[in-house]
Chain A
Amino acid sequence: MTGEPGTRRRPGWLLAHTVLIYLFFYLPILTIFFFAFDTKPIPGWPIDTLTVRWFGEGLQDPQLLEALWASFWIAIVSATLATVMGIPAAMALAWLPIPGKRLLMGVILGPIIVPPMVLGLGLLLLFRLAPDLLGAIGVVIAHTTLNVCFSTLILYSRLLGFRRSLLEAAMDLGATELRTFREVVLPLAFPAIGAAFLLAFTGSFGEFIVAWFVAGFARTLPIEIWTWLRYILSPKVNAIATLIMVVSITLSTLAQLWIIRQARATARG
């Protein structure tokens, strides 16, 4: 008949379509990269001469730098909080029998499903009761709420594939729960924890809408860029955007490869 699956004829259109979709994914990102090197003060096609001037100017702009710093520390703090809360929650969800688990998962994943605009509004109204929280702290809180869904989910799926026998062996040998956690769970889950942290970091670093609602007078980088996009046209934005994208693509590629390698190792082991 048609023979082995591998020798079946490969419809060329499938490959062509896939290549087109990947172009569609990356063309806009590449566009920003190219425009970042455009010499003209108002970026536009065609690009005749190239320059790295805008990178220098962008990195010397005090407003952009301040926003970059704010985004950086907010992302670090919220990713840390999300990971620290995600680890014990994922362990409980993956290993222990929990009544009403479906409902619980629904609540835990809720912040992903609710439109960011609606979450932002809700938090803004909450912070009206505690005005001190508006500002950078508010952004940390908002981003932690968003990130903790993703980090719990990533850690949960990693821990599900974890061999229970390892835990039982450690405890059979007399290790306390804390020691088992420190010496068995933590090292084995470390790549997943790292991946969850990195993804939370990039998620927070690029998040705009929720931050916009609760930031008060604080400026994160996406808020700064949003203001520039709407009111100011400057090639500096393209340069800074290029830098951010290179960093976030690198970090998230690392995290993804980590997750996939771990999943494979689990499947094999």
Chain B
Amino acid sequence: MERPADSFVRRPLAHAAVGLFPLLAWEALFFLLPMAILFVYSFWRMRDFRLEITFTLDNYAEIVTNPFLWKAFVLSLEIAVAGTIVCAVIAYPVAYFIAKRAGHWKTLCLVGVVIPFWTSFILRAYAWKLLLGEQGIINSGLLRLGLIDAPLAGLLYSPVATSIGLVYGFLPFMIMPLYTSIEKVQDSWLQAAADLGASPWRAFREVTFPLCFPGLVVGAVFTFIFAVGEYVIPALLGGGKSLMVAQAIVLEFETQQNWPGGAALAIALLLIILAMLGLLLRWVRMEDVL
């Protein structure tokens, strides 16, 4: 039987099209089109500082054959993988605490995780410069305590500093999905495991952990894709010796004026990220974690 209210859903497709049109038109124009242009540029070539419209795969071949570019990709992948693992290891207990032990403090704890994400990223990266620099807080503190005789120069401007910055920047992306999936694990299930004689460790290993695996995968994939393309943190903290991909892209565009080369780097970076997302969608159903 059709009620009057159903007029609202009588032509759902037409309604949906109207509702989605502004957003989709905007994204077609200012998201999909720019990506398409970037893709096209990556097959062009720069000759005598002028764009030559052609079809060449040289820009992509350059990534593999030019050791400078290749190293940038390798370093980005290494730092992103290491950062993701460190994030996962230190985020898990925090997410567990918030989900299962925080009690009345839960809301405050959650807000506390999300807030840094909304403060300026550059300023937070810059803060690490103040902490890690030669006159920074960590060096001065160690000097005062007499643990070191001279400031540790290698603290700032190193892949280690970059990694610390990345873990700092992207930890919330690991904590939130882990929290969501751990919270869904019912206490009664653990109680049942205990009643059946499982030790707390075994209950964790065989009940809690497998159930929150989707959250772990989602957190890991997002941490990885944000870390692998990061620019500000390596540019501020990493020094100029070993570059990550995003820095190499800026170098191609700004300094070398080689736009097709930069575009090819950007597309290659995008392909890595899409591959990770493809894996993610094969492993977990998004409905499980959102």
Contact = CB atoms under 8 A, between A and B. Distances in A.
Interface of A: 1-2, 5, 10, 13-15, 17-18, 21-22, 24-29, 31-32, 35, 43-46, 84-86, 88-89, 91-93, 95-98, 102, 104, 107-108, 110-111, 113-119, 121-123, 125-126, 141-142, 144-145, 148, 152, 157, 167-169, 171-172, 174, 177, 180, 199, 202-203, 205-206, 208-209, 222, 225-226, 229, 241, 244-245, 248-249, 251-253, 256-257, 260
Interface stretch (B33-41, B62-70, B212-220): B33-41
A260 B13 CA distance: 32
Contact of A88 (B22, B130, B135, B277): B22
Contacts of B249: 117-118, 121
Among B5, B124, B136, residue most surrounded by chain A Cβ atoms (within 10 Å): B5
B22 A89 contact: yes
A31 B129 CA distance: 10
Interface in B209-266: 225-226, 228-232, 236, 246, 249-250, 253, 259, 262-263, 266
Interface of B: 3-5, 7-9, 12-13, 15-16, 18-20, 22-24, 26-27, 30-35, 37-38, 41, 90-91, 93-94, 96-98, 101, 107, 109-116, 118-124, 126-131, 135-137, 140-141, 168, 171, 187, 190-191, 194-195, 200, 225-226, 228-232, 236, 246, 249-250, 253, 259, 262-263, 266, 269-270, 273, 277, 286, 290
Contacts of B230: 115
A93 B24 CA distance: 12
Contacts of B41: 125
Given A14-B96, A85-B23, A96-B12, A111 B118 contact: no
Nearest to B14: A96
A6 B9 CA distance: 47
A121 B31 contact: no
Contact of B120 (A31, A126, A245): A245
Interface of B, helix, strand, loop or mixed by DSSP: helix
A51 to B, nearest CB: 17
Contact of B26 (A2, A145, A209): A145
A45 B135 contact: yes
A14 B93 contact: yes
A201 to B, nearest CB: 10
Given A92-B16, A209-B231, A241-B126, A29 B119 contact: yes
B113 A98 contact: no
Contact of A257 (B111, B123, B130): B111
Which has the most chain B C-beta neighbours within 10 Å: A15, A97, A125, A248? A125
Contacts of B277: 113
A91 B225 CA distance: 29
Given A111-B31, A148-B23, A18 B97 contact: yes
A15 B20 contact: no
A122 B38 contact: yes
Contacts of A31: 127, 130-131, 137
Given A10-B101, A145-B30, A29 B127 contact: yes
Residue with the greatest number of chain A CB neighbours at <10 A, chosen from B23, B131, B253, B262: B23
B111 A253 contact: yes
Nearest to A93: B20
Given A1-B195, A125-B34, A145-B31, A202 B94 contact: no
27 contacts: A13-B93, A21-B94, A27-B131, A31-B131, A32-B126, A44-B140, A45-B141, A88-B20, A91-B19, A93-B20, A96-B15, A98-B16, A107-B24, A108-B23, A111-B31, A121-B249, A121-B253, A122-B33, A123-B30, A125-B38, A141-B30, A145-B26, A145-B30, A171-B4, A206-B120, A252-B118, A256-B111
Contacts of A257: 107, 111
Contacts of A115: 225-226, 228-231, 246, 269-270, 273
B236 A26 contact: no
A122 B4 CA distance: 48
Given A29-B116, A225-B122, A15 B97 contact: yes
Given A17-B93, A172-B4, A253 B23 contact: no
B123 to A, nearest CB: 5
A17 B94 contact: yes
